[in-house]
A and B are shown apart, each in its own frame.
Chain A
Amino acid sequence: MIFFMLIAGFLSGMTIPIQTSINSRLGQQVKSPYIASAISFLVGTLVLLIVSLLTGSYGVSDRELLTSIPWWMLIGGGCLGVFYLTSNILLLPRLGSALTVVVTLLGQMIMAIAIDQFGWFHIPIHELNGPRMIGILLMFVGVYVIKKY
């Protein structure tokens, strides 16, 4: 079971550079990175709406449940996604692609380790240890080597 999870995580990562390539071509066509991102998000929203309706997972039947959800949970994810996407677009021409990947990756790893370490957002606690640190170091060297050659 865990094997399929690992494959799924790997495959989902594979969609990112394809999406970035497609969106930057779209950005050239519409002559604005922001309009390209807006189109990309709009298409994504429509696809999710259709899939949710088709699979019948509009699910929130309980109105009390809906109003009990804190506001940051509703708007947090989407806003952070836009912030991440837009800063990448702004940083790429200023830092270059290698440096952009390395600094955002560093930020991701630091935060992911912190989330696992302290069990934030109800994630099971998974403390940092020696082998995990070596694993993260190996990842960095790997990214560096690929970006350099």
Chain B
Amino acid sequence: MKNKSSYLIIYMLLGLVAGMLSPIQTSINSELRSAIQSPLVAALVSFSVGTLALILLVLILEHHRLVNTNLLEKGKMIISGSPWWLWIGGMLGVIFVTSNIFLLPIIGAALTVVLALCGQMVIALIIDHFGWFGVPKHPINRQRIFGIILMIAGIFLIQHF
């Protein structure tokens, strides 16, 4: 029992550290942008490095999956049996990373984080409400709208002071 709760604290710390890395990532990308003078190329460098890191990670952690199966056959099957939007997740990541690189030096780190978060919560509520992308339906209620109003009030305060 004691063991389990100490694991939970480790996981929570990992989450905290991962969260802390996110604004650092945006800051480093912004510095890169001013060094190479293009937000697009800065994002491109960031994504290329990320892609290489993930390919390495896949080779280390999932190599059994890659050797044991007929990759070409399986790939064909997955591609033909899937909706087209399954492949555009990365494009949305591009929009997020590039606009953050652009915004952070202008409106500051706190406001950039807060605005993105507010956008996240609003669309998450909409996705839940309609059950898009196969997510279980969770209708909007009064408490959830109240939560959004609190968040917007918070953004207002952070932006004005």
Contact = CB atoms under 8 A, between A and B. Distances in A.
A and B are interacting partners? yes
Interface of A: 2, 5-6, 8-19, 21-23, 25-26, 29-32, 34-35, 37-45, 47-49, 51-52, 55, 57-60, 65-66, 68-69, 72-84, 86-88, 90-91, 94-95, 99-100, 103-113, 115-116, 120-124, 126, 129-132, 134-139, 141-146, 148-149
A82 B115 contact: no
A112 B110 contact: yes
Interface of B: 8, 11-12, 14-32, 34-38, 40-55, 57-58, 61-62, 65, 78, 81-82, 85-100, 102-125, 127, 132-135, 141, 143-144, 146-151, 153-161
Contacts of B49: 74-75, 77-79
Contacts of B82: 26, 29
Contacts of B104: 123
A35 B159 CA distance: 39
17 contacts: A10-B115, A16-B119, A19-B92, A29-B78, A34-B61, A38-B55, A48-B94, A57-B41, A66-B36, A80-B21, A81-B50, A84-B21, A94-B8, A110-B20, A112-B112, A112-B114, A116-B110
Nearest to B17: A107
B161 A115 contact: no
A134 B156 CA distance: 11
B51 A38 contact: yes
B44 A52 contact: yes
A139 to B, nearest CB: 4
B110 A88 contact: no
Contacts of B42: 77
A60 B103 contact: no
A42 B90 contact: yes
